[in-house]
Amino acid sequence: MGEHSMKKITWTIKNFSSLQREKICSDPFVVGRCEWRLCAYPKGNNVDYLFLFLEVADHESLPCGWRRNVRFSLSIVNQNTIKRSRQNDEQKWFGEESPRWGRVSMFPLNEIHAKESGYLVNGELKIVAEIEVIAAIGKLDIAEETSTIIETMDINGFQLFPSQLELVSRLLERHPEIASDIRTKNPNLRTGYMSLLLSLIETLRQSPHELSKTDLAEADAALGSMTNAGFKLDWLEKKLDDMAEKKEKEEAGEARVREIEEELKDLNQKCSDLEALLEKQKLELSAAKAPISFDDLDRRTIMEKQSRKKITWTIKNFSSLQCQKLCSDPFVVARCKWRLCTYPKGKNVDYLFLFLEVADHDSLPCGWRRNARYSLTIINQNSVKRYRQNDEQKWFDEKTPRRGRVSMFPLNEIHAKESGYLVNGELEIVAEIEVIEVLGKFDVTEETSTITETMDVNGFQLLPSQMELVSHLLKRHPDIASDFSTKNPNLRTGYMSLLLSLIETLRQSPHQLSYTDLVEADAALESMTNAGFKLDWLEKKVDEMAEKKEKEEGGEIRVREIEEELKDLKQKCSDLEVQLEKEKLELSAANAPISFDDVM
């Protein structure tokens, strides 16, 4: 190929940062009588890296069968220093199926565009390519002055092209007896056999993934023909066997990877289905744990009359307060302790955060609940204008012992001069609170007396706290005690207390009741029925509670089963992912080209 088989090319790309085209190419240049060009994707090719490659310029016009063997390197020049990003030298065959070679992720674009990085100077990016054409098969792009002599060299009776010299020299050095028994004397045939040997070696240097079983069968046939001609190629036969074995491992590995991926996909789908089923079961279990409804009695609580109270809280020196949180003194509404609290400087926002809180919620026993209707008002002390929160009715419990608004009122309006909200540094807040229902222990005990006050209702002596519920009960079921024949006032009162206790028991959630509780409730119901009470409606409640209890226990068992099954499936997924990674590593090893370092 003469003196022009190696060349160094510098490609300067102007206005690199403002290029809008997806792909740009250099002007064609000639190396080794072949036309080449450099190409790049300035904005990357699906990744944030510069995609840079070397390409045969007129590959589409070349005849079938052309090939170019080239050693090349591509560098991005740092124009401020000697530093550069350089791709390691690579030697590749360019052909019809692969007319270009390079790297998708040549260099990070963010480093190229970085200020003072040195890669862009005056908007110019410089790329250096060093190219050496080793061999060219087929028509060359640029014609030389013709000659009747084809330059070859004789090595051990083989006429070789310059591009073949290095490989054949190493081959004969390592295997000097390789052609000692070759019988063919015809120089053209000898040269043809050597070219076939070199092509076979080049074929076996590819990865197993690039070769088909047909390729291996043809390689075996080529090896057989050379052995029959007298070549001693035991070492190459071993390489062919190694390649056939790697090809089998590669195909088996790919099949196993696909199987594991399918199995993993199925397991992940099962996990997803089980998680959906678990969520459904938990919702059903939550419904089963809910107390049965006694809406037909209008109220769910045994308590004194609903209580309502209006509280005024005056905060002194509001503008100079340094504390993050401020609370009023506790006050009592319906035998429950409450307090108002605020964040004078807001909570992460420039608004007054104001809320109502159960004062001693930390000391109350598990299961307590308070249902309250309330409103909170900020008073404008100079006019009738005020900011009032709409009435809200909320449940207060262990998880939510306080209710209110983070953005109750803009602090800048409160502090505004002559706004009327601060007078002599005082801010007035009014809370109106109505306690609707109380579940669990009261905070404040009623005043005791040696005389127990009772009232007669339909021949039953009732405590004031029992009045409301019994009134609702008799209103909804007027015939409840029409056949009740017991005249003794103490026994009558005892039976009514037992009925109220049974109702209170059935108001608990199924989770709070044992099967023993339900058996005892059924016995109490039977004793009252025998005494003459008409309690068909309450018998339905007992049956409903027993059914909910069964559903609750069945649901808990099913949830535990699904959780265990899901845990096992997730462990299987984890094990399969580890196995898949192992199989991929083995497949990657099987796909690696076999080494010729030991024979050449």
The per-residue pLDDT for range 49-106, each reduced to its tens digit, is: 888 999 999 888 888 889 999 999 998 888 877 555 556 678 999 999 999 998 877 7
Choose between 445 and 426: higher pLDDT: 426
Return the pLDDT at 82: 54
- Alpha carbon of 472 to those of 298, 467, 542: distances in Å? 7, 9, 20
What is the structure's pLDDT at 305? 40
In this prediction, residue 387 has a pLDDT band, given cuts at 50, 70 and 90, of low
Q: Report the number of distinct structural domains present in the chain.
A: 3
User: Which of 139-148, 226-235, 400-409 bottoms out in mean pLDDT, i.e. has the lowest?
Assistant: 139-148
388, pLDDT greater than 60? no
Is the pLDDT reported for residue 306 higher than 50? no
- Kindly tell me the burial class for residue 595, based on how many C-beta atoms sit within 10 Å of its own C-beta (0-12, 13-18, 19 or more): exposed
In-domain check, residue 113: yes
Residue 32 lies in a domain: yes
pLDDT tens string 549-566:
898 889 889 999 999 999
Rounded to the nearest integer, the mean pLDDT of the chain is 84
**pLDDT digits 0-9 by tens, 199-221:** 999 899 899 989 999 999 999 99
Range(s) of the domain holding residue 207? 153-232
Co-location of 122 and 186 in the same domain: no
Which amino acid, residue 178? I
Say what percent of the chain tops pLDDT 70.
89
Q: Where are the beta strands (DSSP E) in 389-488?
A: 392-397, 402-410, 427-439, 455-457, 460-462
Residues 131 and 183 in one domain: no
**Do 314 and 435 have their domain in common?**
yes
- pLDDT at residue number 237: 92
Residue 304: per-residue pLDDT: 39
Is there a single domain that holds both residue 130 and residue 173?
A: no
At 1 the pLDDT is 45
449 — pLDDT class (breaks 50, 70, 90): very low
The pLDDT score that the predictor gives to residue 464 is 67
Indicate whether 155 pLDDT > 80.
Answer: no
Would 198 be classed as within a structural domain? yes
Instruction: Give the residue from 189, 214, 232 where a domain finishes.
Output: 232
Predicted local distance difference test score (pLDDT) of residue 146: 37
Q: Helix (H, G, I), strand (E, B), or coil: what is residue 502?
A: helix
Q: Are residues 321 and 194 part of one domain? A: no
Residues 23 and 122 in one domain: yes
The pLDDT of 490-508, averaged and rounded, is 88
Q: How many residues does the chain have?
A: 600
Q: Kindly state whether residues 361 and 404 are assigned to the same domain.
A: yes
N-to-C CA span, the chain: 25
Residue at which a domain ends, from 439, 466, 485: 439
Domain boundary among 439, 466, 500: 439
The answer to the question of residue 341 being in a domain is yes
Together in a domain, 398 and 423: yes
Do 425 and 308 sit in the same domain of this protein? Answer: yes
- Note whether residue 596 is domain-resident: no
> In which band, very low, low, confident or very high, does the pLDDT at 320 lie, cut at 50, 70 and 90?
very high
**In this structure, are 307 and 400 located in the same domain?**
yes
Residues 67 and 160 in one domain: no
Instruction: Identify the CATH number of the domain in which residue 327 sits.
Output: 2.60.210.10
